[in-house]
């Protein structure tokens, strides 16, 4: 089975996810609870794996994480856009 990675990363939001979650004074468990309300099965352990760059993030998870944290996808992906600008 192929491993899904991008320049050695399982996801490109791990730094911003942690930063934005902490900025809103949310624990991983509290964020997981917000995700559960949106019918997204992300547990505290899975959020930890995302924040430690050990798990991929699906498109719907990204969209719901942004909603739960009250940010845009552009803000969540800002590190990606800075590191890999369009030519």
Query: How many CB atoms lie under 10 A from the CB of residue 8?
Result: 6
Domain spans of the chain, in order of start: 14-83
Over the stretch 51-62, which tens digit does the pLDDT of each residue have?
999 999 999 999
Confidence of residue 1 (pLDDT cuts 50, 70, 90): low
Report percent pLDDT > 90 for the chain. Answer: 91
Residues 58-74 as b/e (b if ≥16 CB within 10 A, e otherwise) read eeebbebbbebbebeee
Distance of CA 44 to the CA centre of its chain: 12
Which of 37, 42, 69, 36 has the alpha carbon at shortest distance from 56?
Answer: 42
Over the stretch 28-49, which tens digit does the pLDDT of each residue have?
999 999 999 999 999 999 999 9
Q: What pLDDT shows up at residue 55?
A: 97
Give the CATH H-level superfamily of domain 14-83: lambda repressor-like DNA-binding domains (1.10.260.40)
Distance of CA 56 to the CA centre of its chain: 9
Q: What pLDDT shows up at residue 86?
A: 87
């Amino acid at each position: 089975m192929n491993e899904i990675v991008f320049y050695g990363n399982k996801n490109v939001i791990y730094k911003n996810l942690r930063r934005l979650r902490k900025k809103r004074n949310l624990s991983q468990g509290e964020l997981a609870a917000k995700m559960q309300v949106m019918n997204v099965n992300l547990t505290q352990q899975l959020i930890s794996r995302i924040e430690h760059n050990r798990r991929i993030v699906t498109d719907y998870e990204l969209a719901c994480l942004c909603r739960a944290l009250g940010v845009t996808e552009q803000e969540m992906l800002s590190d990606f856009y800075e590191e890999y600008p369009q030519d």
